[in-house]
Amino acid sequence: MASITMGELVKVYPGGVRALDSIGLTVEDGEFFALLGPSGCGKTTLLRTIAGLEASSGGSIQIGDRDVTNTAPGQRDVAMVFQDYALFPHMTVTENIAYPLRIKKVPTAERTEKAAETAAELGLSDYLARRPGQLSGGQQQRVALARAMACHPKVFLFDEPLSNLDARMRLEARTFLKRLQRELGVTTVFVTHDQAEALALADRIAVMEGGRIRQLGTPKEVFHRPANTFVASFIGSTPMNLLDAVVSGGNLVIGDQKLPVPPEYAGGALGDGEKLVLGIRPEYLSYSTEPVQDALSGEVTVIENLGSAQLVTLHGGAGFVQVVVDEEVFLKAGDKGYAIPRTDRMLLYRDGDLIDAGGDAAAKDAAGRKAGAAA
């Protein structure tokens, strides 16, 4: 096992696309780490650069205590599982799993035995003589994992390995992958554009945009305290409400409605007249059919069934606001509704960045504001 350290890693493709823009990151020994972001943000490039399949244009990569920046892929002690699994169609399951060992010139009997052992760990013993075309998607994925495991690499690199599976299989494979990674304890970097997958699997997540890391944190951190509005809008199965607000006399004025400034921000971190964005997840608004204080009101326009709950879109003076409502509340379009925010879950963004009113940043912020006002 080993950690992976990237220092100011840059990748510029011929033609000038800057796919990685000074990435500095350490993936800890044994960690399950997700690279998450929209299409084109550079996550596959970063994974392939760690694998040595792409040469970097600048910066360094270290695996364990070894600098591998200029080391050939085969010498890096990493195993990669690709989105399409890249299994050899003419080879049996055993031959596919044993292939990396064959490249390493492990004798036939030994590699067949190792392949069978690894296959058994992944529940593939009954399929050893089959070819990939005779397996389900989930079984093929396990063969690809077994092939990656067979030579006991220091690092696993997964490039969207679940995306070819149907929704149900994907959930099963996700749980399986997490258990396997825990059991093996191998440092793992996992690329996905699916935020739910990253939240479910990873110890930590790097959310990327335009070749840069926009936030690095645990699933809880990126879910509860997105560092900027990009991450806020990208993370969460129901998108976060992001509402334009103006600070005025202890209130946030949102369109023609208002809410009190949440207690976390009440200590002088905000200036009167400041334009901010209020972020609040639909799960952290409660719903009332009767008028209540400190709520955003509107007319029910859309009701989406989430199974055990419903996602209700209200349209009113504050714009569109989405609220997760208990399945048992009977609602119809045109009803008047009230969304009451949980004040400890209200987040405020200034120029797109989270105002961290809870810690030192808040004090610095307030001091800077006072100094600005005095000047």
What is 72-124 written as a DSSP string? -GGGS-EEEE-TTTT--TTS-HHHHHHHHHHHTT--HHHHHHHHHHHHHHTT-
CB 20 → ligand ATP: shortest distance, Å?
8
Strand partners of residue 205 = 34, 217
Is there binding between residue 19 and ligand ATP (CB under 6 A)?
A: yes
Q: By CB under 6 A, is residue 210 in contact with ligand ATP?
A: no
> What crossing angle do the helices spanning 93-103 and 137-150 adopt, rounded to 10°?
20
Position 17 contacts ligand ATP (CB under 6 A)? yes
Shortest CB 306 distance to ligand ATP, Å: 26
Nearest distance in Å: CB 333, ligand ATP: 36
Smallest gap from Cβ 44 to ligand ATP, in A, equals 3
For ligand ATP, which stretch binds (CB under 6 A), given 37-45, 137-145, 161-169, 178-186?
Answer: 37-45
Answer for which of 7, 30, 40, 73 binds ligand ATP (CB under 6 A) is 40
Stretch that binds ligand ATP, among 40-48, 108-116, 317-325, 344-352 (CB under 6 A): 40-48
Size of the chain in residues: 375
Q: Which two tokens stand for residue 288?
A: 């009332």
**Total residues binding ligand ATP (CB under 6 A):** 13
Q: Scan residues 42-101 and list those touching ligand ATP (CB under 6 A).
A: 42-45
Structure tokens at 102: 């064959």
For 193-308, strand residue ranges (E) read 204-209, 212-217, 241-248, 251-254, 257-260, 275-280, 285-288, 296-305
| Bridge pairing between strands 58-63 and 66-67 | antiparallel
**For residues 323 and 233, is the Cβ–Cβ distance under 8 A?**
no
Reported as half-sphere exposure (CB side, CA atoms, 13 A), residue 188 has a value of 28
Which is closer to ligand ATP, CB of 43 or CB of 204? Answer: 43
Sheet holding 347-350, edge to edge: 257-260, 251-254, 241-248, 275-280, 347-350, 353-354
C-alpha to C-alpha distance for 176 and 79, rounded to whole angstroms: 18
Question: Residue 264 Cβ, how far from ligand ATP at the closest point, in Å?
Answer: 34
| Contact flags string 178-207 toward ligand ATP, x per CB under 6 A | ---------------x--------------
Taking contact as CB under 6 A, which single stretch among the options 14-22, 134-142, 171-179, 221-229 is the one that binds ligand ATP?
14-22
195 vs 313, beta carbon nearer ligand ATP: 195
Beta-carbon count within 10 A of 59 CB = 17
Side chain identity at 24, as an amino acid letter? G
State in angstroms the smallest separation of the CB of 84 from ligand ATP. Answer: 12
Closer by beta carbon to ligand ATP, 17 or else 129? 17
- Which stretch, 33-41, 100-108, 275-283, 328-336, contacts ligand ATP (CB under 6 A)? 33-41
Residues that bind ligand ATP (CB under 6 A): 13, 15, 17, 19, 37, 39-45, 193
